[in-house]
Structure 1
Amino acid sequence: MELIDSGLALMEISMGESSTKTRMKSIREAEQTNLRRIRESQERIRRRQEQLVRDPQPPLRYEFEKAPTDEQEAEDYRQMWEMCFRHNFGSIDAETSLGPICCTTGTNPADALPESCMQIFSIKVTDLNNDLSLPLEVHGFVAARDSVDRKRNYLFRCTRDNCQTLTPKDPFLHLTGPSRAVLLIDPVAIEVQLKVKGKKESEDEVLALKCFYFHERYHLEDGIRFRIPSKRCMLEFALAVLPMSVEAIVGIRVVDRSWPDHCPGLVVCSTNSVKEGKVVLLDFQNGELPTKSDGVVELARRVVSVDYPEGKLTVSVEASRGRFSARGTVDFGMKVPRGSSTRTCDLVFCKMLVTVAWSLVSCYRV
C-alpha cells in the first residue's frame, strides 16, 4: 500500500511538473507566434521613427500625404497590443507585478542569466512649441514593455493631484522606475502619455502622446541619448544598452545620528562602464529626507542594471545647504549568481548603511 501511495505521489509530482512545462511551452510558442505577427509592424514603425529623428520635418515629397497623428499611432498600438497579447496578459493598462528576482538566497530560476538590458538614466522635456513655456505642471506616465510579461513597467508616473512642475532649471521628469530590469531581448515598447494641467481637468492639454519601439541598433547621440519628436515637445532619453548585465537592488538606512533639518540632498549611482550616465535614486530639494521609523530611506528608484562580469557600482550621497556641503561615496564589486554587500557611508553629520543585492535576470516569469 505504501508503494502504491508513494507511486501515486510521484505520479502527481510528475504530472504537475509536466503540466507546468506544457504551460510554459505553450506560452513561449504563443509569444513566438505573436512576435512573428507584429515583426513587420515594428519594422515599419522603426523606419518611420528613425526618419523622424534624422529629419523631424517631413521631406517635400510627402507634402501631400497625410502622416498619422500621435493619437492615431497610439490607437494603432493599442489595437495591435489587444490583438496579440490580451489573451495571455489581460488589460493593456495592467502594471507589471514582477519585481527584481533578488536571487540572494535559495535557488535561482532555471533561466536566470545575465541578459541584454536597457538602463534608463533620464528623460528630458525640451523644444516646446511656441504656445507652451516653462514652468509647466505635468502629469501622466512613461512606461516600458519588454518580452517578460508585456505589461507596463513604469519609468515615470504622476497623478493630476500630484503633478511635477517642470522648470527651466529642472526640465527632467523625476523617474520612479523601472521596478525591475528592462530586458532588450526583443524591441522594447515605450509608451508616453503626458498632459499639462489646466485650471480644470477639462482644460488639461496633451504634452506628449507617443508609442514607439526601441531596439539595440537604435542610433544614440553621444553614446547615450536619443530624441523622440512629439507634437508639442521633444523627449530626450538618456540610456545605455548593456548586452550582458545583472540587476543591482540598492537600499539605504540611517544608522547613526540623523539628516539635518532643511538640508537638500541627492542620492545617485553610476557604473564603471557608463561613466557619463547617472541614475538618480532620490532627489529631495525640499530638505526632508524621506525615512521610515527604522531609518530606512524611501528611495524613488532602487533597481540598476550593471554590466556583467566586470561591472562595479558607485553610490553617492550628497548634502548641501548654503555654504555647507558634504558628500559620501561607496563602491561595490559584483557578487553573482547571488550575494549582497553592505558599506558604510559617512557624511560627518550622520552615517548610512548602503546595501546592494545582486541578482541574475529571468526572461520567462509567469
Structure 2
Amino acid sequence: MASRCRWPPALARRLDPPLRRVSSEAAWGWGQDANLHDGDEDPRSASKGRRTTEIVIKEDEEEASDYEFSLGNVIEKSGHRDGSMYRAMRWGWKRNYPVGDRSETRLEAMRFSDSTERRSGCTMLQIFSLKLAKIPGNDGLVELYGYIAARDHVDKLLNYVINISRDDPIIVEQGHIHTYGSLISMGGGPKRGIDVADYALIEYDMRIKRGRQERDDLQLIDGASSLHYHGTWHRPFTYGISNDCGGAVDMTLACLCCAVETTVEVLISEVQSGFHMSLRCFTSGFNTEIRLFDGAVVGSCALKRSVVAVVEGSFMRLKFKVSTPSPGSESKRRCTFKAKTHGHNTREIKTDFALISVKVTWSTLPGRFPE
C-alpha cells in the first residue's frame, strides 16, 4: 500500500512574535520511580446579527523553534445555534462534509490491529488538551456542556473529542497560566484516530449552564474551523477560539506525520483500598502531556479507553501516579512502548494499592471507510 504520509515542507521563517491572530466574521503521581521496560524502551526520551470569532495561535514555549504554523480560518456560516450551519448547503465545504448528518463516526478504533497486510501510518491530528481560558462575565466555577468533534475524509461523520450533555455538565474553573484548574477533561479523547492527510473539519458548540432552561445558558464557542495541512505544524502548539460573548477555549494540538492509531486500555484489579490516580501520556518524543485520567479509584474497574496518535517507530510513555491522604503514601510508575503498525503490547504494574494492567493496541487507519 502506498504511504499516505506527508512530510512538511522546508522550514519557513519564524513568526515574530510567535503569535498569529486570524479573525473572520461568522454567522453563528507510587514509592520510588520505577521503569518497566523491555526491548521497546526508549534509551532517551461588525455587522448586526453577526459574531466575530478569533483564533489565537501561540507557540508552546517548551516546543518553540523556527517553524511557521498555519491553521484554516473560522468558517463563515458555521453557527449551530442560529442554524446557519445547516443553510446554504451549496457552499463548497458543506458539500465536502455532510454537516446536516449529526451521526457519530461508524468506524471503531483498532480496525487493522490484526492485519497481516503491509500498511503504513498516515498524517494524524493529536489533540493534547483543552483549556477553559476565559469565562464571559464570571471568574468562578461554571457548569460546562457541549461538544468538540472532528470530521475527516475517512467517513466524514462526527468523531467526538468531547461530548458533554446538558443534564450532566462538568464543573470547570477558569484557570491561569501554570495551573490545571481550567483543563477540560477529554475523557479518553476521540473514538478513533483523526486523519488529516488532506484536511479536516473541527466543529464546536459549547455553552455554560446558567439556569433551568437552555435559553438561559451562555454561549462559549460555536462554529467550525478547517484544518489544512500546510506549513510545518508537526509539533504541539496552542490556539484559542473566542467570540464576542467574552469566552475562550484553548486547544493544544499537533499534526503528526506517519502516525499510527494507539488505543490504551487500563484495568485496575485487586484493589486493597481506595486511592487517587492520575495517568499522563507523552507521545512521539514531545514533552506536552495528554491527561488520560485523574480521579478516585474505590474498587476494581476499567478506565475508559483512550485513543492517541503516535509516530510510527517513535515511543509513547505512560506515567502513573497513585496517592492517598496518608503522609508519604505516594507512588509513581511509568512504562514505554514503541509504536508499530499492528499488534498489541501488555504490561502489569503491581503496587500496594492495586494491580494495574495496561494493554496498548496498534492500528493504522483506512484510506476511506466503505459505504
TM-score by length of 2: 0.70
Q: What secondary structure, in the 3-state scheme, does the structure 2 residue paired with 1:195 have? A: strand
Q: What secondary structure, in the 3-state scheme, does the structure 2 residue paired with 1:149 have? A: coil
Corresponding residue of 2:186: 175
Corresponding residue of 1:117: 124
Corresponding residue of 1:342: 346
- Counterpart check, 1:93 vs 2:97: no
Q: What is the one-letter code of the residue matched to 1:213?
A: S
User: How far apart are 1:252 and its partner, in Å?
Assistant: 1.6
Distance in 2, Cα, partners of 1:291 & 1:80: 51
1:134 to 116, 137, 140: 140
Relative to its length, the structure with more strand (as a share) is 2
1:288 to 258, 273, 297: 297
2:201 to 172, 180, 189: 189
Q: What is the one-letter code of the residue matched to 1:152?
A: L
Q: CA RMSD in A?
A: 3.1
Summarize the alignment of residues 115-264 of structure 1 with structure 2, pairs less than 5 Å apart: 115-129=122-136, 131-167=137-173, 168=175, 170-176=181-187, 177-201=189-213, 202-217=215-230, 223-231=236-244, 232-255=246-269, 257-258=270-271, 260-261=273-274, 263-264=275-276
User: How far apart are 1:220 and its partner, in Å?
Assistant: 6.0
User: How far apart are 1:254 and its partner, in Å?
Assistant: 2.9
Summarize the alignment of residues 322-341 of structure 1 with structure 2, pairs less than 5 Å apart: 322=325, 323=327, 324-336=329-341, 338-341=342-345
User: How far apart are 1:179 and its partner, in Å?
Assistant: 0.6
User: How far apart are 1:264 and its partner, in Å?
Assistant: 1.8
User: How far apart are 1:207 and its partner, in Å?
Assistant: 1.5
Q: Which runs of 5+ in 2 are unaligned?
A: 1-18, 25-45, 54-75
User: How far apart are 1:335 and its partner, in Å?
Assistant: 3.3
Corresponding residue of 2:69: none
User: How far apart are 1:238 and its partner, in Å?
Assistant: 0.8
Distance in 2, Cα, partners of 1:154 & 1:245: 20
Change (3 A) 1:290 1:260: closer
The 8 Å contact of residues 265 and 289 in structure 1, kept in 2 or not, is answered as: no
User: How far apart are 1:57 and its partner, in Å?
Assistant: 7.8
Q: What secondary structure, in the 3-state scheme, does the structure 1 residue paired with 2:297 have? A: coil
User: How far apart are 1:127 and its partner, in Å?
Assistant: 2.9
TM-score by length of 1: 0.71
Change (3 A) 1:149 1:274: same
The 8 Å contact of residues 240 and 274 in structure 1, kept in 2 or not, is answered as: no
Corresponding residue of 2:34: none
The 8 Å contact of residues 102 and 249 in structure 1, kept in 2 or not, is answered as: no
Equivalent pairs counted in the alignment come to 294
Q: Which moved more, 1:112-121 or 1:214-223?
A: 214-223
The 8 Å contact of residues 245 and 307 in structure 1, kept in 2 or not, is answered as: yes
Change (3 A) 1:265 1:218: farther
Distance in 1, Cα, partners of 2:227 & 2:49: 21
User: How far apart are 1:87 and its partner, in Å?
Assistant: 10
Question: Which protein has greater RCO, CA pairs closer than 8 Å, 6+ apart?
Answer: 2
Q: What secondary structure, in the 3-state scheme, does the structure 1 residue paired with 2:87 have? A: helix
The 8 Å contact of residues 260 and 340 in structure 2, kept in 1 or not, is answered as: no
The 8 Å contact of residues 56 and 229 in structure 1, kept in 2 or not, is answered as: no
2:321 to 314, 318, 322: 318
User: How far apart are 1:104 and its partner, in Å?
Assistant: 3.0
Relative to its length, the structure with more helix (as a share) is 1
The 8 Å contact of residues 253 and 353 in structure 1, kept in 2 or not, is answered as: yes
The 8 Å contact of residues 113 and 362 in structure 1, kept in 2 or not, is answered as: no
Q: Which runs of 5+ in 1 are unaligned?
A: 1-52, 59-63
Q: Which moved more, 1:239-248 or 1:200-209?
A: 200-209
Q: What is the one-letter code of the residue matched to 1:298?
A: L
Change (3 A) 1:290 1:358: farther
1:7-45 CA distance string (max 9 Å, x none): xxxxxxxxxxxxxxxxxxxxxxxxxxxxxxxxxxxxxxx
Summarize the alignment of residues 75-90 of structure 1 with structure 2, pairs less than 5 Å apart: 75-79=83-87
Identity among equivalent positions (%) equals 21
Change (3 A) 1:65 1:157: closer
Distance in 2, Cα, partners of 1:217 & 1:88: 20
Distance in 1, Cα, partners of 2:217 & 2:351: 43
User: How far apart are 1:216 and its partner, in Å?
Assistant: 2.9
Distance in 1, Cα, partners of 2:193 & 2:229: 15
The 8 Å contact of residues 285 and 316 in structure 2, kept in 1 or not, is answered as: no
